[in-house]
Amino acid sequence: MDHFDYHAVRATPVSTDAILHCERVPAEAIARAVGTPCYVYSKATLVDHFVKLKTAFAALNPLICYSVKSNGNLSVCRVLGELGAGMDVVSGGELYRAIAAGVPANRCVYAGVGKTDEEIAQALDAGLGLFNVESEEEFENIAKIAAAKRVVCETALRVNPDVDPRTHRYTTTGKKETKFGVDIERAKAFFRRYGRDSFCRLNGIHLHIGSPIYTTEPYVESVRKATALIDELASEGFSVTTLDLGGGFGADYETDQTPTLATYAEAIVPLLADRVRAGLRIILEPGRTLVANAGVLLTRVLYMKSSGEKTFAICDAGMNDLLRPSHYLAFHFMWPCQTTAAFRPSRRAKEMGMDGLRSIDVVGPICESGDFLAIDRPLPPLRRGDLLAVFTAGAYGMAMASRYNSHPLPAEVLVDGASLSVIRHRERYEDLVAHERHPANVAML
């Protein structure tokens, strides 16, 4: 699953403690070196997950485009880019990040419903590999800008196969009622209208039905609908040469929660192998499944507090650092980084089945009642100064962090074996106001 493990360490001649390590570096040593809160990523986990995905889908020889929105740190993108990954981007800023990380634009695919004219022009100038188009007006606009620049670009139509991925409603994107893509019934009309544009070549189908998806059935259903559409389009003379399957594969917020990457592949590969041999190109857009378990958030307990029937652990990380619990009511396993052998976790789960745990609300410093990392969470006894690890935080953690209440953004570090690199320095108070120091008058016409 990942390279975050508790190692047994002799505490006294008669007792043993369990100490969390990222690869070969103790979590406490990281916290002392860079402070808290901080995000810690394991390079070995990133590499391991990418290799497993590539191996599982080897029969399809896919272009694996890492979803930058899940974690856009340059060093994270660089690790994956050096393994051969392309990048899935949803903004001009993410395309800029991908290129800055050393990934060429022709290995990037660009989705998103609200691409501005400036972003489209930026992508065309950079030599983007593929636009994933979300609407008729967007296609017309890309085609107009491409024609003005005399640049030919490749596009894929994002199609909603009307498949229920059975995930959170905020992250369900394959139903008719979402803002993304076009209904599968409209796709043929879309191709008839735009499929022969001279500068904006429409030769792909893009699917992305949601995230995280913990069963293979939604993928099977959506792929079957997409290949049926490809065959119908072929009967009308349209050649679809690219099928982008999107992402959405799960991550283990609890131990063994998600199918293995091989399991996903076993369901999907047989549906597409013959078409790939006939020339169809496959693109995958994984994000969470590569980076979620590759990261933890370290946070220090500032104070313990009792109020009525509640016990609170007030920490230096809150919803500004990790939004998912308050935004999605998402579960993240958390545990002290140093604990007694009796509390050494053998798995990660909502119910740990250990004697001596206490029900604790783990909350942050933000002035919002909705600022929490966990509610009524069974945990070992905590005290001021304890270091907590919030697991499976590598995806949509730092990417969704904010400076709310004027808290500087946390540091990010990358561990490689026994070495530690600061890949994003902790912000200072001056960074909070740097862009406000020098107001400038703007002349109005």
**Which CATH number characterizes residue 322's domain?**
2.40.37.10
Compute the half-sphere exposure of residue 232: CA atoms within 13 Å on the CB side of its CA: 15
pLDDT of residue 173: 44
Task: Band the pLDDT of 21: cuts 50, 70, 90.
Answer: very high
Q: In this structure, what DSSP letter does residue 410 have?
A: P
Tokens for 50, please give them.
């990418």
Residues 222 and 301 in one domain: no
Task: Band the pLDDT of 308: cuts 50, 70, 90.
Answer: confident
Q: Is 231 exposed, middle or buried (0-12, 13-18, 19+ CB in 10 A)?
A: exposed
Q: Is 422 exposed, middle or buried (0-12, 13-18, 19+ CB in 10 A)?
A: middle
Any domain includes 73: yes
Alpha-carbon span 346 to 441, nearest angstrom: 60
Strands 419-424 and 411-416: antiparallel
Any domain includes 56: yes
Any domain includes 232: yes
- Residue 174: C-alpha distances to residues 208, 211, 271 (Å): 6, 10, 19
Concatenating the DSSP letter of every residue in 364-378 gives -SSSSTT-EEEEEEE
Per-residue pLDDT tens digits for 242-264: 999 999 999 999 999 999 999 99
Q: Is 41 exposed, middle or buried (0-12, 13-18, 19+ CB in 10 A)?
A: buried
Any domain includes 440: no
- Residue 366: C-alpha distances to residues 184, 372, 375, 382, 392 (Å): 44, 9, 16, 20, 22
> If you average pLDDT over residues 159-181, what whole number do you get?
59
pLDDT of residue 162: 80
Strands (E), 212-321: 242-244, 281-284, 295-307, 310-315
> If you average pLDDT over residues 116-139, what whole number do you get?
97
pLDDT of residue 204: 98
pLDDT of residue 154: 98
Any domain includes 162: yes
Range in 197-201, 334-338, 412-416, 438-442 the model is least confident about: 438-442
Residues 101 and 20 in one domain: no
Which of 292, 316, 335 delimits the end of a domain? 292
Residues 254 and 369 in one domain: no
Task: Band the pLDDT of 172: cuts 50, 70, 90.
Answer: very low
Residues 225 and 315 in one domain: no
pLDDT of residue 180: 67
Which of 292, 313, 344 delimits the end of a domain? 292
Any domain includes 445: no
Find out whether 163 and 208 touch, Cβ atoms under 8 Å: no
Cβ partners under 8 Å of residue 386, min gap 6: 300, 301, 336, 337, 338
- What amino acid occupies position 29? A
Task: Band the pLDDT of 171: cuts 50, 70, 90.
Answer: very low
Q: How many domains does the chain have?
A: 2
Task: Band the pLDDT of 166: cuts 50, 70, 90.
Answer: low
Active site residue 315: no
Per-residue pLDDT tens digits for 5-15: 999 988 777 67
Residues 252 and 400 in one domain: no
> Closest Cα partner for 397 from 321, 330, 327, 288?
321
Tell me: pLDDT of 295 over 50. Answer: yes
Of 38, 200, 337, 367, the catalytic one is 367
Any domain includes 439: no
Can you give the CATH number for the domain in which 167 is found? 3.20.20.10
Dihedral of alpha carbons 81, 426, 296, 337, sign = positive
Residues 219 and 334 in one domain: no
Find out whether 138 and 115 touch, Cβ atoms under 8 Å: yes
